[in-house]
């Protein structure tokens, strides 16, 4: 069994394919963490709860004679606030008496096959109960009357587990949840680095690595979204760990709102790592008899470096996060008009786009922002989701029929969570904005945020979307969100619930997305948030692909896509060829192939030479589709390791084929370029499709291949396809 309980030693042991996770029920029913790491056959780990000799000033439980055990230093599984543990806590409630001392102790547990869902929140799923097993531990605080259920799910095929917490108020009075992290992971050393992904608009998910020190360090968002600034991913890695070697622990939160990933090194050298909702500006009033669920945290252990960690996340998400018909079937190759036209388009102009697209082998035209209300600039009409028939030259159904008659599918853009000051909706319902009474509302991109905590707001917006989609042959929706939350308040909630607004907003967004995917299961939904401002597992649960960044420059995209790949599979990465100038179409295409692939330009401007290049790229998209979407990714040369040249490759699961790609960011100083490949079968022989040469997998991985004559100048790139004899 992947999950076992030793009743004599009171030990829980959770085994994934390559890792073990061990907990102990100690005296007075404290739940203590003992181990997380490479898989071990036994669990003789009781001494792991001790961390050196402790001074008498450390808080002690008067019922425990063991003086080496103290709430202030012991590695608790789910540490609470205000009862002797002075480190960062995972959980805290404030009771009716006004204090927040919280003390959860073990009560009972269950072990069962399968995995529970989380009400109102996205989470990983199982295709059958044989895919995973779940441990459910019940904890309780005898003073506050709060009960917590800790859920641990172990996936049998992967070195991965998920965790979340469900809290119940069994008392007669309301309590306020002030902190509720989804996971706490204790390490008995701090000899690690923290790896995170920081960024900004057009610079999302940039790799950053720093050693853990005796300070509290980490990343967070309080923007109301997971954000451009930080991604809800983090890793704890051995100092020596690289792509192929060393222990790495990856953490990812299935959530699209305010989050925190942090590590605190205690004076005795141990490290506590937390992942969950950012407690800053968060609170939740829990009435008697109510319950609250945290988002789900995913953890992956790799004994073989960052590369194995990433490949585990990729396969786990492809199989157990992404849902619906688009999880497995081939997605359309699309062209989007935004970068070519902005809002300055007509129906006739877009029909010419579709005509050229058909000639090039493109499958779908996506009409972006500007098709509704009086939307001719970004200052107006958000919330007025009525078709501008004058711009399109008639009803939307007639316009789409013209597109479809060419053999081209049709997609459309929405920004459902937003409202323009200059809109009919705002003039009718100014109270429908997120706002704080008496404070002027900040504006961003000339728009406000709708109060999706309110059912009437969600219902109204969804009714407009449903009418447009239900009455027309629309096969794709791009869901955009172009600003963060500020002045976070709701006119519909009482004062004691104002700290709930940010979380309720995300729950409301999830609800509308869920309704959309249930009512229109044929839709391909692509998420966007000023590019990659909400690139997280919560969004992937609803949309199998996310627009990676508004920055489509292929050289800049290398940093963004390499960083994104630490956690997210290529099939989720929205990547297009655009009119950016720093490289030619060949390099643009080679970079965009590492993603969903598509076009973001005006096809009427193509020269005959451009058209031939595009046709070849479309052919390659189909040729390499399965290899890139389901193959294993190997980052051979990363931009955080080499500022001049990068390389990556995809290898099919059966090791029968591989695609190598390399890009010159800046002309290298050295002339010679030998590259060792990875992931191949050393016993098999591979044909280089460019040269016709035959090499063993062992040679390609150990001696490498001479690529000196490939790609030597700024912006150059090449790819080589290998297949077995």
Catalytic residue numbers read 480, 550
Question: How far is the CA of 720 from the CAs of 80, 413, 514, 675, 724, in angstroms?
Answer: 54, 36, 41, 12, 13
CA–CA distance, 184 with 23 (Å, rounded to integer): 12
Looking at the DSSP bridge assignments, the partners of residue 19 are 38
Check: CB of residue 87 under 8 Å from CB of residue 110. no
| DSSP structure string for 256-314 | SSSEEEEEEE-TTS-EEEEEEE--TT--EEE-TT-EEEPPEEEEEEESBHHHHHHHHHH
Cβ-based burial of 436 (10 A; exposed 0-12, middle 13-18, buried ≥19): middle
How many of the other CB atoms lie within 10 Å of CB of 176?
19
- H or E element in which residue 336 lies: strand 334-336
Q: Identify any residues that bridge with 169 across adjacent strands, giving them in sequence order.
A: 146
- Where do we find the tokens 């191949």? 680
Cα distances (Å, whole numbers) of residue 202 to 14, 229, 561: 40, 10, 12
d(CA 405, CA 403): 5
Give me the numbers of helices (H) and strands (E) for the chain, helices first please: 13, 39
Non-local CB neighbours of 509 within 8 Å, separated by 6+ positions? 256, 417, 452
Phi, psi of 26 (to 5 degrees): -95, -175
User: CB neighbours (10 Å) of residue 37?
Assistant: 15
Distance CA 690, CA 673 (A): 17
Parallel/antiparallel/unpaired status of strands 296-302 and 175-187: unpaired
With both helix axes pointing from N to C terminus, report the angle between 585-592 and 608-630 in degrees, rounded to the nearest 10: 20
Beta bridge partners of 649: 634, 660
Q: Is 321 exposed, middle or buried (0-12, 13-18, 19+ CB in 10 A)?
A: buried
Contact (Cβ atoms closer than 8 angstroms) between residue 293 and residue 546: no
Give DSSP secondary structure letters for 43-79.
---GGGG--S---TTS---TT---TT--TTTS-BSS-
Of 269, 266, 270, 231, which is closest to residue 251 (Cα–Cα)?
231
Distance CA 409, CA 403 (A): 7
**Dihedral sign (CA 516, 519, 520, 522):** positive
Give Cα separations from 146 to 13, 91, 101, 102, 291 (angstroms).
26, 11, 12, 9, 10
């Amino acid at each position: 069994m992947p999950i076992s309980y030793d009743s004599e030693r009171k030990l829980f042991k959770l085994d994934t394919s390559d890792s073990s996770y061990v907990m102990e029920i100690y005296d007075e029913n404290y739940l203590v963490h003992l181990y997380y790491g490479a898989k071990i056959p036994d669990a003789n780990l009781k001494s792991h709860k001790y961390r050196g000799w402790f001074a008498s000033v450390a808080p002690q439980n008067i019922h425990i004679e063991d003086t080496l055990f103290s709430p202030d230093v012991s590695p608790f599984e789910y540490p609470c606030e205000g009862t002797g543990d002075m480190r960062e806590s995972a959980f805290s409630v404030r009771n009716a008496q006004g204090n927040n001392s919280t003390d959860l102790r073990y009560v009972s547990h269950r072990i069962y096959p399968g995995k529970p869902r989380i009400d109102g929140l996205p989470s990983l799923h199982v295709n059958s109960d044989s895919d995973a097993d779940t441990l459910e531990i019940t904890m309780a605080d005898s003073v506050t009357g709060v009960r917590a259920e800790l859920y641990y799910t172990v996936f049998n095929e992967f070195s991965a587990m998920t965790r979340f917490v469900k809290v119940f108020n069994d008392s007669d009075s309301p309590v306020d949840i002030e902190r509720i992290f989804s996971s706490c992971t204790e390490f008995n050393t701090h000899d690690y680095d923290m790896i995170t992904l920081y960024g900004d608009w057009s610079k999302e998910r940039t790799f950053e690595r720093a050693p853990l020190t005796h300070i509290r360090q980490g990343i967070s968002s309080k923007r109301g979204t997971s954000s451009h600034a930080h991604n809800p991913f983090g890793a704890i890695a051995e100092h020596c760990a690289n792509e192929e070697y060393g222990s790495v622990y990856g953490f990812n939160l299935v959530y699209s709102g305010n989050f925190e990933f942090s590590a605190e090194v205690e004076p005795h050298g141990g490290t506590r790592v937390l992942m969950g909702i950012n407690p800053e500006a968060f609170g939740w009033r829990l009435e008697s008899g109510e319950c609250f669920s945290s988002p789900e945290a995913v953890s992956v252990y790799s004994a073989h470096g960052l590369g194995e960690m990433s490949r585990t996340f990729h396969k786990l998400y492809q199989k157990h996060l992404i849902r619906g018909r688009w999880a497995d079937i081939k997605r359309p190759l699309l062209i989007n008009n935004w970068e070519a036209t902005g809002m300055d388009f007509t129906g006739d102009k877009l029909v010419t786009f579709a005509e050229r697209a058909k000639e090039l082998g493109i499958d779908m035209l996506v009409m972006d922002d500007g098709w509704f209300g009086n939307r001719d600039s970004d200052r107006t009409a958000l919330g007025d989701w009525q078709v501008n028939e004058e711009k399109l030259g008639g009803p939307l159904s007639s316009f789409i029929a013209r597109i479809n008659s060419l053999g081209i599918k049709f997609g459309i853009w929405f920004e459902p969570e937003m409202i323009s000051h200059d809109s009919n909706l705002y003039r009718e319902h100014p109270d429908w904005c997120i706002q704080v009474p008496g404070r002027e509302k900040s504006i961003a991109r000339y728009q406000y945020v709708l109060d999706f905590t309110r059912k009437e707001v969600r219902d109204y917006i969804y009714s407009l979307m449903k009418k447009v989609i239900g009455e027309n042959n629309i096969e794709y929706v791009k869901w955009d969100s172009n600003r963060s939350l500020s002045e976070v308040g709701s006119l519909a909630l009482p004062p004691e619930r104002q700290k709930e607004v940010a979380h309720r907003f995300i729950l409301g967004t999830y609800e509308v997305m869920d309704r959309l995917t249930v009512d229109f299961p044929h839709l391909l939904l692509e998420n966007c948030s000023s590019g990659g401002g909400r690139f997280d597992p919560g969004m992937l649960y609803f949309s199998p692909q996310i627009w990676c960044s508004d920055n489509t420059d292929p050289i800049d995209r290398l940093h963004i896509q390499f960083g994104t790949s630490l956690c997210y599979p290529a099939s989720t990465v929205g990547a297009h060829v655009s009119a950016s100038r720093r490289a030619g179409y060949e390099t643009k295409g080679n970079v965009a192939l590492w993603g969903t692939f598509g076009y973001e330009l005006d096809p009427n401007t193509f020269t005959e030479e451009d058209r031939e290049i595009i046709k070849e790229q479309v052919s390659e998209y189909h040729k390499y589709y399965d290899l890139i979407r389901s193959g294993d990714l190997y980052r051979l040369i990363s931009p955080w390791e080499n500022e001049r040249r990068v390389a990556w490759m995809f290898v099919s699961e059966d090791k029968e084929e591989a695609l190598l790609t390399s890009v010159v960011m800046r002309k290298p100083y050295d002339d010679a370029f030998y590259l060792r490949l990875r992931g191949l079968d050393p016993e098999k022989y591979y044909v280089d499709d460019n040269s016709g040469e035959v090499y063993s997998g062992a040679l390609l991985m150990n001696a490498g291949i001479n690529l000196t004559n490939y790609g030597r100048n700024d912006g150059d790139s090449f790819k080589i396809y290998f297949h077995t004899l």
